[in-house]
Amino acid sequence: MTTPRIPVGIIGASGYSGLELTRLLAAHPHAELRFVASDRWGGERVRDRAGVSGPAGDLLYGPAERAAELSDDCQTVFLATPAEASLKLVPELARDDRLIIDLSGGYRLQRSEGYPLYYGFSHPQPERLRAARFGLPELFRSRLAGARLVANPGCYATSAILPLAPLLRAGLLADEPLVIDAASGTTGAGRKLSEEFSFGEVADDFRAYRILRHQHTPEIVETLAHACGREVRLTFTAHLLPVRRGILTTVYARLAPGIAADQPRRVLCEAYAGEPFVEIARSAEAVGLKSVVGTNRCQIGVAAGDHPSDPGRIVLVSAIDNLVKGAAGQAVQNFNLQHGFDETTGLADLHPAYP
Amino acid sequence: MTTPRIPVGIIGASGYSGLELTRLLAAHPHAELRFVASDRWGGERVRDRAGVSGPAGDLLYGPAERAAELSDDCQTVFLATPAEASLKLVPELARDDRLIIDLSGGYRLQRSEGYPLYYGFSHPQPERLRAARFGLPELFRSRLAGARLVANPGCYATSAILPLAPLLRAGLLADEPLVIDAASGTTGAGRKLSEEFSFGEVADDFRAYRILRHQHTPEIVETLAHACGREVRLTFTAHLLPVRRGILTTVYARLAPGIAADQPRRVLCEAYAGEPFVEIARSAEAVGLKSVVGTNRCQIGVAAGDHPSDPGRIVLVSAIDNLVKGAAGQAVQNFNLQHGFDETTGLADLHPAYP
Amino acid sequence: MTTPRIPVGIIGASGYSGLELTRLLAAHPHAELRFVASDRWGGERVRDRAGVSGPAGDLLYGPAERAAELSDDCQTVFLATPAEASLKLVPELARDDRLIIDLSGGYRLQRSEGYPLYYGFSHPQPERLRAARFGLPELFRSRLAGARLVANPGCYATSAILPLAPLLRAGLLADEPLVIDAASGTTGAGRKLSEEFSFGEVADDFRAYRILRHQHTPEIVETLAHACGREVRLTFTAHLLPVRRGILTTVYARLAPGIAADQPRRVLCEAYAGEPFVEIARSAEAVGLKSVVGTNRCQIGVAAGDHPSDPGRIVLVSAIDNLVKGAAGQAVQNFNLQHGFDETTGLADLHPAYP
Amino acid sequence: MTTPRIPVGIIGASGYSGLELTRLLAAHPHAELRFVASDRWGGERVRDRAGVSGPAGDLLYGPAERAAELSDDCQTVFLATPAEASLKLVPELARDDRLIIDLSGGYRLQRSEGYPLYYGFSHPQPERLRAARFGLPELFRSRLAGARLVANPGCYATSAILPLAPLLRAGLLADEPLVIDAASGTTGAGRKLSEEFSFGEVADDFRAYRILRHQHTPEIVETLAHACGREVRLTFTAHLLPVRRGILTTVYARLAPGIAADQPRRVLCEAYAGEPFVEIARSAEAVGLKSVVGTNRCQIGVAAGDHPSDPGRIVLVSAIDNLVKGAAGQAVQNFNLQHGFDETTGLADLHPAYP
């Protein structure tokens, strides 16, 4: 007897995350892709755009504005849309017997006051916001059970929270502001038509953007505060790398008084011992994009020790694929979790795209 | 009447810095390249390796071991050699009527105890070390006059010191440890034959290296301490970018109590008002590799303000070409300074290599 | 009832093709990886180098010199070794009940006189050479049945033969010398430790190599001659692209008298109608690396028409991933074919690595 | 006594060629940049966009529509505009005492029938077309003297004509169709705002474009026919490389009967013996982008010999920087030539941008 497949739909299927999600769900043994919406590619065949074979490849991209109607039989709907679009779509799509996994930031912040500051709008649905669950399975697996609206974490947020949360929770870090310095490939910015993202501008360049005002900041702050039960101060900076995929995040913290330099790595190893998608590297220098791009993994490394120029400093380095563990792969992991499948289903055979 | 040209020599001419220096000096109106040493390219013609025309192109690469003898008539000798080689060459080459500009780290630290820790050797010439001058003209122009041994600053150090020194000197920054997070193109690591630097390994990757133990750390610490007259604690991290040239450095500090958010940019503008090679950008986001690669410029940007997640934070971003302002161009600037030429001679017409 | 898995081994597992093969076989539902040999990574765990999970990840890399002994229970052995190594290993490993798939050029040429000219050695086993089968399933499926030694085609050869063979066979091309101009990512050259393949040399560069003497030339000549039953003259040129993976091949031929411009595309569509891994693109301009890298596909496009500057000219463009359809994926396809599995097993869910 | 500077203007200064031209002319000892027009950057300062210092940096970009009026005192006007714009501007700007150097294709073809076919318009000024001179100094220096309208050659055309013309003129090549296969960095396509040229699309990709209909085809055909006094048939294909700058062109021809394999290289060496910007490399494999990008050079290599698979074949490889020798540098060379300056003025000190 074979497991029946869950009928699923994707709205926003032509963005980079939506495209990755299309590919992952087309190959997922327990999902049946029934509806894919994209205004950009409306009427085209999924095979021709996503390069997938099988029945999913035969689907045609449908119009986003008729999503509620056309996804009627989908038990899970994935939104790979901008936050503003998700805010409109979620109320239309919400049903008791349906799981919505939203890849935007529209429902990620528990405190709605972050929205005007970082997203430029007041959140119109504060109750729904409180009901949404932040979909980071490694930290919140138990709280995610039965959720009807999962806010899939931001890519930078995933890469910053995973190395920090266990150390904060265990009280290993001093109560000092954290510095989170991250760099992402261009697909992290989405498929925008602007000179800023043309090959001639991005190739061979490197720069910081949205300094002190990046919208992933508040979800990192909230989640870490939740993890350790106290306020957390931090500065997060994003940089644009001349590569297509991958995020590397370097975190600067300080060991709490009396904590030995080798303790943080031990705590991370224990915290993530059973986790199929988190790997504690042998060193912080061993962490790099090419070990994770193409996979749903987060690789984490730790450096600490008697550094004469800044005693007590600890440096954490983490790497993920922004489109997989940072978006579509994590969404599939959340899908698996909610439907009772092994969390690695459809994700285990992904291997590094490199060399 | 034309100015006579200064006879100059380069030892270590086949490394990336040595190659850049060869090109700059070949086109310099007041230098006459007389001797270029490279064991690697011994016997080959400079034209064929460096692509330069004119008389410098006709030179043959000579053997490094006969450098002292063959550079006898050179009034200035540039060492683009590893620190260990410079330590051997400087005593052989030193003369009262000769300027030595050493691009290695061999004579950069005033306190010799940094050598065992960061370079892996005890410095054999502590007196000569004290006599050497750290060749960052924008900060130490007056102290450089008459020097016979100039220690040309490290590339990362140049990019970190220029934005920080005026702010520390003016007392604008709190006495908190600094975080200096930098990324460099692969030429910063020199021309090494290792799998680690093969195209297949570096392309599309990004990683940190020598965390908490990079050898440019002590020269940053010493120089900043010198600038502000007190000890400075800091952590410096280097990353490897998949580009050939350029360094972007992101610095995290905190405003001292009572300092307004717009003061630091004003102080930087004043400090570098007459400097031809330092540009204060309109914003920190405007700073990027492509504005500086190919030139001797350092571009600096500032972000500060009422950032709710970490009040008082100030972020500085700077960019240089690691082979020009970070090595060969700064060496030419030092050469100009010592010989009384305009500091921009041979450097003014360099323009960004990018569109 | 589940199909039993075929025990398999890989020799030369640390090269780029061997690594890709390790990943494909680790995820293959009907293969059980029992032995992986690599002198370079001897004693390390497959998980740590190949990033694969499951039982294959637990294997340790073993020594190549004990391959015959340690692969004793492997029903299929894959050689991802240089031609010279394959010539030594095949006689040691050959058995009536074992399939050997050799990814090197050691057994590809039917006429042994090509070896001294293009490979630099006289072939020591002319009889075994004649018994080997050229493993291009789309053209030689019937001749491959029951083979014990399959010579897996070269990457450039695959990309050149697939677009040309059906047209030559159908008599659509004039009897004029062909021009085959191809460009490959650096992994096509294997994992070599040479300055030539360092990031600083390859990035932003493009050049031709082994002009008029590339070793894939004779296998293209022989295979095309075999396809059309007459001698074929051609010039093949390889170029090195600053990317990791992918081959794009542009072929210049001439329509035979009386052949209409739209006939070639029709013939190609028919020839490859049932082939899961060959796609005839809507135009030659639509063919590109990013549609195929990460998959086992070959994409082919045709341009022909009334070009006033050269009437009768036809231009074919094809693209493959040099490590998949050009090496490891095609080897798995041959494995599937010989063991009676669907040819797409373990290959169908590969999707483009891009964006 | 110093030579007076020629007042010059640039229209279309914000395109990649116009930007490069701005930089070259700003540093040119005998040119005085008086007017730069760009609708895109209107009102901005040249320093801020082009990164140039000195008086040229103080200019403001002016409006293209007032070009005729604002460039009134410019003795030479450079048009870095699309062909359609040049066709409008040239009649407005033409004067007996003024040199116009047009970088577009608007006046390159001697036979006006090429325009409808390759450019999509009928040429409105056939007389002016006949009066224009094709500005390839190495071949047409004597015919260029006194020209008032110089059609600066296309980038691909320059790279294809330079290796072929001397061989055709000397009768070394058989009367067979030529194949010209070329690849260019993205700046060759100009600064277009289209998804096609976004980083995510171009990076790691390689594809052919405008197959059998590229607009540089007719200028290559005409110029080569002119060089050898007979019709020339050829196919030209352009490819898009994932780099910013540089063109590599691989040409396939056949030796005329009785011509020895080493003759072509000798003839090329003689033809270009006194040319400062053409270098005959020691081999065709030695030719690459990184030797020429950043300079006004064309590097040419030859491979010919007893190639068993295609006897008589000769392969030529050439490389240029598409923005320098393929556009702005060649325009400066033409400027120097017309004004009686040494042709290398302002171009001699350019050195390769690599490593």
The 3-class SS string of chain A reads: CCCCCEEEEEECCCCHHHHHHHHHHHCCCCEEEEEEECCCCCCCEHHHHHCCCHHHHHCECECHHHHHHHCCCCCEEEECCCHHHHHHHHHHHCCCCCEEEECCCCCCCCCCCHHHHHHCCCCCCHHHHHHCEECCHHHHHHHHCCCCEEECCCHHHHHHHHHHHHHHHCCCECCCCEEEEEEECHHHHCCCCCHHHEHHHHCCCCEEECCCCCCCHHHHHHHHHHHHCCCCCEEEEEEECCCCCCEEEEEEEEECCCCCCCHHHHHHHHHCCCCCCEEECCCHHHCCHHHHCCCCCEEEEEEECCCCCCCCEEEEEEEECCCHHHHHHHHHHHHHHHHCCCCCCCCCCCCCCCC
| Cross-chain residue pair C242–D241, CB shorter than 8 Å | yes
Report the gap between the CA of A190 and the closest CA in chain D (Å).
Answer: 10
pLDDT score, position D261 = 96
How confident is the prediction for chain D on average, in pLDDT?
94
The 3-class SS string of chain B reads: CCCCCEEEEEECCCCHHHHHHHHHHHCCCCEEEEEEECCCCCCCEHHHHHCCCCHHHHCECECHHHHHHHCCCCCEEEECCCHHHHHHHHHHHCCCCCEEEECCCCCCCCCCCHHHHHHCCCCCCHHHHHHCEECCHHHHHHHHCCCCEEECCCHHHHHHHHHHHHHHHCCCECCCCEEEEEEECHHHHCCCCCHHHEHHHHCCCCEEECCCCCCCHHHHHHHHHHHHCCCCCEEEEEEECCCCCCEEEEEEEEECCCCCCCHHHHHHHHHCCCCCCEEECCCHHHCCHHHHCCCCCEEEEEEECCCCCCCCEEEEEEEECCCHHHHHHHHHHHHHHHHCCCCCCCCCCCCCCCC
pLDDT score, position C191 = 72
- pLDDT for C166-218, tens place per residue? 999 999 999 999 999 999 999 987 776 677 788 988 999 999 999 999 999 99
pLDDT score, position D355 = 61
Q: Which of B155, B228, B269, B298 is catalytic?
A: B155
What is the identity of the amino acid at D89? Answer: L
How confident is the prediction for chain A on average, in pLDDT?
94
Strand C76-79 versus strand C99-102 pairing type: parallel
pLDDT score, position D2 = 63
- pLDDT for C83-126, tens place per residue? 999 999 999 999 999 999 999 999 999 998 999 999 999 999 99
B-chain CB neighbours of D191 within 8 Å are 355
- pLDDT for C291-347, tens place per residue? 999 999 999 999 998 789 999 999 999 999 999 999 999 999 999 999 999 999 999
On the question of pLDDT at D191 being above 80, the answer is no
Of residues D336, D10, D345, the one with CA closest to residue D141: D336
Cis peptide before A355 (omega within 30 of 0): yes
pLDDT score, position C354 = 64
Residues of B with CB under 8 A from a CB of C: 16, 186-187, 191-195, 197-204, 242-244
Contact (Cβ atoms closer than 8 angstroms) between residue A206 and residue A241? yes
Dist. CA B250–CA A261, nearest whole Å: 26
pLDDT score, position A350 = 86
- pLDDT for A26-43, tens place per residue? 999 999 999 999 988 999
pTM above 0.90, yes or no: yes
pLDDT score, position C269 = 98
Residue A193: pLDDT band (50, 70, 90) is low
On the question of pLDDT at B15 being above 70, the answer is yes
| Cross-chain residue pair C200–B193, CB shorter than 8 Å | no
Residues of D carrying an active site annotation = 155
| Cross-chain residue pair B355–D276, CB shorter than 8 Å | no
ipTM score: 0.96
- pLDDT for D26-77, tens place per residue? 999 999 999 999 988 999 999 989 988 889 999 999 998 888 889 999 999 9
- Rg, Å, chain B Cα set: 20
Of residues B272, A199, B294, B280, the one with CA closest to residue D50: B294
Identify from B283, B309, B354 which residue to disrupt to test chain A contact, counting A C-beta atoms within 10 A and taking the largest count.
B309
Neighbours of chain A (3+ CB pairs under 8 A): B, C, D
Contact (Cβ atoms closer than 8 angstroms) between residue A8 and residue A32? yes
pLDDT score, position B1 = 47
Q: Which of C74, C155, C228, C298 is catalytic?
A: C155
Average pLDDT over residues B296-305: 96
What dihedral angle (degrees, nearest 10) is formed by the CA atoms of B187, B191, B197, B199?
A: 80
| Cross-chain residue pair D349–B349, CB shorter than 8 Å | yes
Average pLDDT over residues A313-318: 98
Please give the distance of CA B152 from its chain centroid, rounded to a whole number: 6
pLDDT score, position C327 = 98
Contact (Cβ atoms closer than 8 angstroms) between residue C153 and residue C132? no
* Percentage of residues in chain C having pLDDT higher than 90: 86
Average pLDDT over residues C16-20: 95
| Token pair for B310 | 């970490």
Residue B6: pLDDT band (50, 70, 90) is very high
Residue C2: pLDDT band (50, 70, 90) is low
Residue A354: pLDDT band (50, 70, 90) is low
* Percentage of residues in chain A having pLDDT higher than 70: 98
On the question of pLDDT at A194 being above 90, the answer is no
Neighbours of chain D (3+ CB pairs under 8 A): A, B, C
Dist. CA C185–CA C240, nearest whole Å: 6
Residue of C nearest to B195 (CA): C193
Range scoring the smallest mean pLDDT among A64-78, B211-225, D266-280: A64-78
Contact (Cβ atoms closer than 8 angstroms) between residue D231 and residue D198? no
